[in-house]
Amino acid sequence: MATFKDFRNSVKPNWCPGCGDFSVQAAIQRAAANVGIEPHELAVVAGIGCSGRIAGYINSYGFHGIHGRALPIAQGLKMANRDLNVIASGGDGDGFAIGMAHTVHAIRRNIDVTYVVMDNQIYGLTKGQTSPRSAQGFITKSTPGGAIEPSLKPLEVALSAGATFVAQGFSTDIKELTALIEAGIQHKGFSFINVFSPCVTYNKINTYEWFKEHLTKLADIEGYDAQNRELAMQTVMEKEGLVTGIIYQDLETKSYQEKVPGYSEQPLSELDMNLSEGQFNDLVKEFM
Amino acid sequence: MLHQLSWKVGGQQGEGIESTGEIFSMAMNRLGYHLYGYRHFSSRIKGGHTNNKITVRPTEVRSIADDLDILVAFDQETIEVNYKELTEKSVILADAKFNPVKPEDSKAPLFIVPFTEIATELGTSLMKNMVAIGATSALLNLRTSVFQSVVDEIFGRKGEEVVKKNMEAIQRGFDMMSELLGDRVGEWELAPADGKRRMFMIGNDAIALGALAAGSRFMAAYPITPASEIMEYLIKKLPKFGGAVIQTEDEIAAATMAIGANYGGVRSFTASAGPGLSLMMEAIGLSGMTEQPLVIVDTQRGGPSTGLPTKQEQSDLMAMFYGTHGEIPKVVIAPSTLEEAFFDTIQAFNIAEELQLPVIIMTDLQLSLGKQTTEPFDYSKIEIRRGKIAFDELEPAENKDYFKRYENTEDGISTRVFPGTANGIHHVTGVEHDETGKPSEAAGNREVQMDKRFRKLEKLNFNTPVYTNAPHEDADVLLVGFNSTRGALEEVQERLTTEGVKVNHAHIRLLFPFPSEEMASLVNRAKKVIVVENNKTAQLANILKMNIGGHNKTHSITKYDGTPFLPRELENKVKELLD
């Protein structure tokens, strides 16, 4: 059986020393090993930005697509091969700015894909512009007078879009993050995992220390029930989204694949492509 | 006796005009007639003038007829909009309900028939369409029983009573019309047909059936006119073959989802029209750069922007040629008949997989939505070719390195391996990459990979890039077109030939890479070249000149008012250029 080392490759990440993304990468590798899959049974589909490079840093099938479109590519891939484990990944710009429509609709659609967002509240690769996750007043190259728009609330968006799995992690807590990703992979349906992954170069506000001070573990909240959607929404709003753990999981709702009429149990990529002469002639006759 | 009938029914959108045309056509198809239909409609659900023009012949019909023999009108607007197409031998059948008036300069007589009144007497005014069909059959001297099987099929599930009432409506219309005609009965009788049934479908049906026959089991699409019928057909059919269609949030998702599914190993595609294609340009680049197969159908309509969403145009040519930033190899094909639409779709999937690149199937609104008869497609001609794919577990690579998915081979084509295959791990990226797919900005590698991608086009295996009917070694004129202008051009060629003009005809089916060699030889054999197309800027003529020259003898006939070319107007324009 594969260990997390088998999910390592020889490529040296081009992330800055101290970047939160290193831990996200490690957590994905550990989670994949923990759920007992082999490297070739995993595909990581990523977007564009610092975080997007993750698809090339894990020893698995990797697809580094275009900005904001990791989710449609990942969903198409999962539809083609339902036996494959598909993780989509990207940054907050990728998922909440250019790709926001795909995020909301992937959540609604509920195809069995795990989506890990590396949320650093800044545009890093383009060298420090505001992100939809930047706090109001946050000063960046593109918001010299401070960000005017309020920060997007991904957890609330996900819950109201009908998510069946919502979690949030912090990149220094690899143990918790690994468990969240593992749970996401095992969840039957779309799993949305937002991860605070600090940018040490361009975000001097939302630093490791800042998160340590502000984050609350849901595990520490007495009576928290991740299957209670109202409670989840209420807690997220009360804590202004600064929580970690499984926020909500719906264990009842079936995934998209299970709901599509006629969708093959066998991966589509393995189906016989040929129509028999009888099948073809029946189709032709319908037009006569 | 008529050797061709041109029949049109018109009224307000949402009044059942389309189904009137449908029922009439189905019955004519069952009698063995060849049909070619064209629907005029607007971008709204109810209201607005709509009409359905159907050309019927005992022999092959290639285009919409110039004139109109019978106009069935459910409102005065239908008469006003369409009477100019009528001749002195034509007739207008109009519903008494709206007190129809014959325009002063109308050459055709007006017959007023109480369609709505008769239908209401029988129970519901909805059946006025059936009364009109009955009146039509009296004009054509057809037995009303020819409609029985069609009525059974359409209304059967609503019960025997409904079938009976509808047949009664047809009979009443027939009787009333026969009485009105008096001794003119038989004047509009149509020459008999062979009784052989043919497929009767729109181009979008042929494409959707082609995708199914090509083994495509996944489609991602966003609704748009005039492409939606493709997804709608597959939503009905794919579940029977284990596949699925996802209606996405936009065309960007549609194209990228199709790329993801192709990467996963299932033949996948999307279909849209101009506005959707504009959104897909980035995905087309991704497909080209990552060498993932992608088939996209572009059903052209009037542009730019939202343009003329329900009207004919062929103005996406340059966008399909040059669309997407940077340089990628791609293939653009343009079927011109139903049979080509079917087989070219299969070819598109084969090429997309063999050459691992985007293939665009371009149609236009007239081909996509015009309903026509065609001989049943030949099963034995269906061929699936997938190119280089490693299906089974591979040997581990040296030094635990990645599989060389982008190996620099002689023909530029490297072996694909689908996720899930042991020892096939590699990286895919839209960033320039090395043979294993890892990002690489090295100048040498860039050239190697760029050349490799483009080299693949040399292996393009496309059957019949140019349809030709070019009997003359020294033609007076070469007529050139693409997509749905084929029939009108054939008609013009035939008419001019009888007048002694030496006409060659070439219809370009492979637009990119452009079939320069073949077209150059055709151009060299003609004194004049006339390129016919539905756009403002003569895009095809420019592409022709750009690729093979011939500037001084190439002329253009363009039309961009939203309507297709009719043979006579085209004939006149060609003659003007020949003088």
Residues β-bridged to residue B532: B557
User: How high is the pLDDT of residue B447?
Assistant: 98
User: CA angle at residue A180 from A177 to A183, to 5 degrees?
Assistant: 150
pLDDT tens, residue by residue, A103-146: 999 999 999 999 999 999 999 999 999 999 999 999 999 999 99
Residue B431 contacts A where some CB pair is shorter than 8 Å: yes
Residues of A in contact with B427 (CB under 8 A): 55-56, 62-64
**CB neighbours of A153 closer than 8 A, spacing ≥ 6?**
A236, A241
Residue A262 contacts B where some CB pair is shorter than 8 Å: yes
CB contact under 8 A, A78 and B209: no
pLDDT tens, residue by residue, A39-91: 999 999 999 999 999 999 999 999 999 999 999 999 999 999 999 999 999 99
Residue A277 contacts B where some CB pair is shorter than 8 Å: yes
Ranges of each domain in chain A: 4-261
pLDDT tens, residue by residue, A190-223: 999 999 999 999 999 999 999 999 999 999 999 9
Nearest-by-Cβ selection for A65 from B200, B422, B430? B430
Residue A148 tokens, joined: 């005017």
Which of B259, B399, B427 is the mutation pick for testing A, counting most A CBs within 10 A? B427
User: How high is the pLDDT of residue B117?
Assistant: 96
Which domains occur in chain B, in start order?
5-197 (3.40.920.10), 201-381 (3.40.50.970), 388-460 (no CATH), 466-578 (3.40.50.920)
User: How high is the pLDDT of residue B579?
Assistant: 87
CB contact under 8 A, A66 and B425: no
Residue B345 contacts A where some CB pair is shorter than 8 Å: no
**Interfacial A residues in 58-117 facing B (CB < 8 Å):** 59-66, 69, 71-81, 83-84, 101-102, 104-105, 109
Lowest mean pLDDT among A107-111, B154-158, B419-423, B474-478: B154-158
Q: Count CA within 13 A, CB hemisphere, residue B12.
A: 8
User: How high is the pLDDT of residue B44?
Assistant: 81
**Interfacial B residues in 535-554 facing A (CB < 8 Å):** none
Residue A137 tokens, joined: 């007043």
Confidence of residue B396 (pLDDT cuts 50, 70, 90): confident
User: How high is the pLDDT of residue A174?
Assistant: 97
Q: What is the mean pLDDT of chain B?
A: 96
Distance CA B360, CA A14 (A): 37
Nearest-by-Cβ selection for A287 from B205, B212, B267? B205
Residue B404 tokens, joined: 């060389």
How buried is B20 (Cβ within 10 angstroms: 0-12 exposed, 13-18 middle, 19+ buried)? buried
Residue B398 contacts A where some CB pair is shorter than 8 Å: no
Closest by CA to B331, choosing from B344, B342, B343, is: B344
Residue A4 contacts B where some CB pair is shorter than 8 Å: no
User: How high is the pLDDT of residue B442?
Assistant: 96
Q: How far is CA B129 from CA B170, B172, B174, B302, in A?
A: 9, 12, 12, 31
Percent of chain A with pLDDT over 70: 100
Confidence of residue B41 (pLDDT cuts 50, 70, 90): confident
Distance CA B240, CA A263 (A): 9
Check pLDDT > 80 for residue A29: yes
Task: Return the amino acid letter for B526.
Answer: A
Check pLDDT > 90 for residue B14: no
Q: Are A197 and A173 in contact (CB under 8 A)?
A: no
Q: Are A81 and A108 in contact (CB under 8 A)?
A: no
Mean pLDDT of B61-66: 92
Query: Cis link prior to B226 (omega < 30° from 0)?
Result: yes
Distance CA A70, CA B498 (A): 60
Mean pLDDT of B416-426: 97
pLDDT tens, residue by residue, B519-550: 999 999 999 999 999 999 999 999 999 999 98
Confidence of residue B1 (pLDDT cuts 50, 70, 90): confident
Which of A64, A104, A265 is the mutation pick for testing B, counting most B CBs within 10 A? A64
Check pLDDT > 90 for residue B7: yes
CB contact under 8 A, A287 and B426: no
Distance CA B140, CA B143 (A): 9
Confidence of residue B401 (pLDDT cuts 50, 70, 90): confident
Q: Are B504 and B477 in contact (CB under 8 A)?
A: yes
Distance from CA of B390 to the nearest CA of A (A): 13
Check pLDDT > 90 for residue A5: yes
Distance CA B455, CA B407 (A): 13
User: CA angle at residue B334 from B330 to B338, to 5 degrees?
Assistant: 140
For chain B, how far is it from start to end, CA to CA, in angstroms? 36
Closest by CA to B57, choosing from B88, B71, B36, B72, is: B36
User: How high is the pLDDT of residue A143?
Assistant: 96
Distance from CA of A109 to the nearest CA of B (A): 10
Q: Are B316 and B302 in contact (CB under 8 A)?
A: no
> Beta strand B510-512 with B331-333: parallel, antiparallel or unpaired?
antiparallel
Residue A287 contacts B where some CB pair is shorter than 8 Å: yes
Q: How far is CA B170 from CA A241, B115, B118, B127, in A?
A: 69, 10, 10, 9
Confidence of residue A185 (pLDDT cuts 50, 70, 90): very high
Residues of A in contact with B263 (CB under 8 A): 63, 73, 76-77, 80
Nearest-by-Cβ selection for A268 from B266, B422, B430? B266
User: How high is the pLDDT of residue A181?
Assistant: 98
Mean pLDDT of B80-94: 94
Distance CA A254, CA A263 (A): 14
Q: Count CA within 13 A, CB hemisphere, residue B216.
A: 35
CB contact under 8 A, B425 and A59: yes
**CB neighbours of B289 closer than 8 A, spacing ≥ 6?**
B326, B328, B430, B432, B453
User: How high is the pLDDT of residue B427?
Assistant: 97
**Interfacial B residues in 241-270 facing A (CB < 8 Å):** 241-244, 246, 248-250, 252-254, 256-268
Q: Are B224 and A34 in contact (CB under 8 A)?
A: no
**CB neighbours of B161 closer than 8 A, spacing ≥ 6?**
none
User: How high is the pLDDT of residue B92?
Assistant: 96
Helix (H, G, I), strand (E, B) or coil at A74: helix
Nearest residue of B to residue A49, measured between CA atoms: B431
How buried is A136 (Cβ within 10 angstroms: 0-12 exposed, 13-18 middle, 19+ buried)? exposed
Which of A71, A268, A284, A286 is the mutation pick for testing B, counting most B CBs within 10 A? A268
User: How high is the pLDDT of residue B42?
Assistant: 82
Residue B375 contacts A where some CB pair is shorter than 8 Å: no
Residue B427 contacts A where some CB pair is shorter than 8 Å: yes
Q: What is the mean pLDDT of chain A?
A: 97
Residue B556 tokens, joined: 């253009």
pLDDT tens, residue by residue, B335-346: 999 999 999 999
Nearest-by-Cβ selection for B427 from A55, A273, A280? A55
User: How high is the pLDDT of residue A65?
Assistant: 96
Residue B176 tokens, joined: 């009333």
Distance from CA of B206 to the nearest CA of A (A): 10
Confidence of residue B103 (pLDDT cuts 50, 70, 90): very high
Check pLDDT > 90 for residue B47: no
Closest by CA to A133, choosing from A175, A90, A173, is: A90
User: How high is the pLDDT of residue B476?
Assistant: 98
Spatial strand order of the sheet with A42-46 comes to: A216-217, A243-249, A165-170, A191-196, A114-119, A85-91, A42-46, A61-64, B427-429
H/E/C letters for each residue in B48-116? Answer: CEEEEEEEEECCCCCCCCCCEEEEEECCHHHHHHHHHHEEEEEEEEEEHHHCCCCCCCCCCCEEEECHH
Q: Where are the beta strands (DSSP E) in B128-212?
A: 199-202
Residues β-bridged to residue B161: none
**Interfacial B residues in 434-473 facing A (CB < 8 Å):** 437-439
Which of B252, B292, B441 is the mutation pick for testing A, counting most A CBs within 10 A? B252
Nearest-by-Cβ selection for B421 from A40, A64, A271? A40
pLDDT tens, residue by residue, B133-149: 999 999 999 999 999 99
Among 3.30.70.260, 3.40.50.720, 3.40.50.970, 3.40.605.10, what is the CATH number of A4-261? 3.40.50.970
pLDDT tens, residue by residue, B148-163: 999 999 999 999 999 9
Q: Are A248 and A254 in contact (CB under 8 A)?
A: no
User: CA angle at residue A41 from A249 to A107, to 5 degrees?
Assistant: 30
Nearest-by-Cβ selection for B379 from A10, A263, A281? A281
Helix (H, G, I), strand (E, B) or coil at A276: coil
Lowest mean pLDDT among A78-92, B182-196, B240-254, B343-357: B182-196
For chain A, how far is it from start to end, CA to CA, in angstroms? 57
CB contact under 8 A, B379 and A43: no
Distance from CA of B555 to the nearest CA of A (A): 40
User: How high is the pLDDT of residue A195?
Assistant: 98
CB contact under 8 A, A275 and B205: no
Residues β-bridged to residue B373: B200
CB contact under 8 A, B242 and A264: yes
